[in-house]
């Protein structure tokens, strides 16, 4: 993909809730049910991404809007249980697949390729546009302000400063294992692993297979398109990661975001998100109200969490309130509506 317009078009209208919702006769039970509403997102280049709104139960109502930005090549379905939990808390939650991934695979047409920056500028841009539109519509209907929270896992958090309008539309950023993934932020044996990953594994995989196989990237990842894999490799070798890429100098808006940015590291995430890499990302939010947090397996009474554990349903009851409560308290538009949820 060479260049794409950066002003996202409107998302298509919300359809009738999906038939995956349980068909309950009891009206009270339906009032307590999270509804999943598939809705295609139209990007600025006209492509449609697979997306879905997780709607709060009628008894709770929409108190805020959230977007979930996925990790590299990870399907939106991986975040489903977390999205449902957020919806029960009062968020209208938008999750989506990047083009070429999972249910958005056909948005990347034969012979095309896509870079990480395209996922951020165009695909995440379309999601943010749709979420902001939904927030404004809800605010007008309710005659009160609603907050917009961006939850970014790994790539979904470290590339937000490339998303057009991020600094103006998002009230708060919750980054989970979002990092400056330059290999110099790893230490010990993990640095050797990172060196091999960025210098050899990704480039060689692209040459052999025409993509990076998902099994190289994590337990839930799908195959990574060639241009995305090569850009990841190039950034990983470059001091500063995407912040060292001069072609993005005019697009980076991290320093203009003034809201709360809570960035979490996982103490046993040695392979993808070491604490030093998360610290480095925190340093680029120079005008934000940054808080750095860490969670260890012992905090949750488990043996491991690692990079992909924070969104597992079996850890949710112990971890997700720990992630959400501080940033909701720090964000006036969220605190005003969600502390009673």
Contact assessment for residue 66 and residue 151, using Cβ atoms and an 8 Å cutoff:
yes
> What's the CA gap between 135 and 187, in Å, rounded?
42
Q: Are strands 64-69 and 35-38 parallel, antiparallel or unpaired?
A: unpaired
263 in helix, strand or coil? strand
Q: Label residue 199 exposed, middle or buried (CB < 10 Å: 0-12, 13-18, 19+).
A: middle
Q: Domain residue spans in the chain? A: 27-186+253-338
Q: Tokens standing for 163?
A: 């998303």
What does the pLDDT read at residue 339? 61
CB within 8 A of 338, min separation 6: which ones?
63, 64, 89, 90, 328
The helix-helix angle for 313-330 and 80-89 (nearest 10°) equals 50
What does the pLDDT read at residue 333? 95
> What's the CA gap between 316 and 191, in Å, rounded?
30
Top CATH class of 27-186+253-338 equals alpha beta
> What's the CA gap between 15 and 51, in Å, rounded?
12
Contact assessment for residue 81 and residue 88, using Cβ atoms and an 8 Å cutoff:
no
Angle at 120 between CA 208 and CA 47, to 5 degrees: 85
> What's the CA gap between 76 and 119, in Å, rounded?
14
> What's the CA gap between 39 and 28, in Å, rounded?
26
- Encode burial over 280-293: b for 16+ CB neighbours within 10 A, e otherwise: bbbebbeebebeeb
Q: Tokens standing for 181?
A: 């993934």
Single out the residue of 252, 315, 307 nearest to residue 285, CA to CA. Answer: 252
Return per-residue pLDDT of the chain as tens, 341 residues: 544 545 444 444 344 344 444 444 555 566 789 999 999 999 999 999 999 999 999 999 999 999 999 999 999 999 999 999 999 999 999 999 999 999 999 999 989 999 999 999 999 999 999 999 999 999 999 999 999 999 999 999 999 999 999 999 999 999 999 999 999 999 999 999 999 999 999 999 999 999 999 999 988 899 999 999 999 999 999 999 999 999 999 999 999 999 999 999 999 999 999 999 999 999 999 999 999 999 999 999 999 999 999 999 999 999 999 999 999 999 999 998 876 44
Contact assessment for residue 302 and residue 262, using Cβ atoms and an 8 Å cutoff:
no
> What's the CA gap between 213 and 225, in Å, rounded?
9
Q: How far is CA 77 from the centre of its chain?
A: 12
Question: Looking at the DSSP assignment, which residues form a beta bridge with residue 291?
Answer: 262
CB within 8 A of 14, min separation 6: which ones?
37, 39, 53
What does the pLDDT read at residue 337? 82
Task: Provide the terminal-to-terminal Cα distance of the chain, rounded to the nearest Å.
Answer: 43
Contact assessment for residue 70 and residue 155, using Cβ atoms and an 8 Å cutoff:
yes
What does the pLDDT read at residue 13? 38
User: If you count them, how many residues does the chain have?
Assistant: 341
């Amino acid at each position: 993909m060479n260049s794409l317009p950066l002003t996202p078009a409107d998302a298509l209208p919300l359809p009738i809730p999906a038939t995956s919702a349980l068909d309950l006769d009891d009206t009270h039970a339906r009032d307590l049910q999270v509804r999943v509403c598939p809705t295609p997102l139209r990007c600025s280049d006209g492509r449609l991404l697979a997306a879905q709104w997780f709607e709060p139960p009628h008894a709770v109502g929409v108190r805020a809007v959230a977007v979930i930005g996925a990790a590299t090549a990870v399907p939106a379905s991986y975040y489903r249980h977390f999205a449902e939990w957020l919806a029960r808390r009062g968020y209208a939650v938008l999750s989506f697949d990047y083009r070429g991934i999972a249910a958005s695979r056909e948005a990347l047409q034969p012979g095309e390729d896509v870079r990480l920056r395209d996922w951020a500028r165009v695909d995440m841009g379309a999601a943010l546009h749709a979420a902001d539109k939904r927030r404004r519509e809800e605010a007008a209907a309710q005659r009160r302000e609603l907050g917009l929270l961006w939850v970014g896992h790994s790539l979904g958090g470290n590339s937000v400063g490339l998303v057009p309008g991020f600094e103006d539309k998002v009230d708060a950023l919750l980054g989970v294992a979002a990092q400056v993934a330059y290999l110099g932020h790893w230490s010990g044996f993990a640095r050797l692993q990172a060196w091999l990953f960025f210098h050899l594994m990704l480039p060689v995989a692209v040459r052999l297979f025409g993509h990076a196989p998902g099994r190289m990237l994590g337990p839930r990842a799908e195959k990574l398109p060639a241009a995305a894999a090569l850009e990841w490799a190039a950034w990983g070798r470059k001091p500063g990661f995407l912040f060292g890429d001069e072609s993005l100098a005019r697009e980076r808006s991290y320093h203009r975001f003034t809201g709360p940015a809570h960035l979490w590291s996982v103490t046993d995430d040695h392979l993808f998100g070491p604490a030093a890499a998360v610290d480095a990302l925190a340093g680029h939010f120079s005008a934000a109200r940054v808080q750095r947090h860490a969670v260890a397996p012992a905090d949750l009474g488990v043996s491991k969490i690692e990079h992909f554990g924070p969104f597992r349903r079996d850890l949710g009851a112990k971890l997700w309130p720990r992630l959400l409560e501080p940033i909701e308290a720090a964000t006036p538009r969220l605190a005003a509506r969600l502390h009673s949820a």
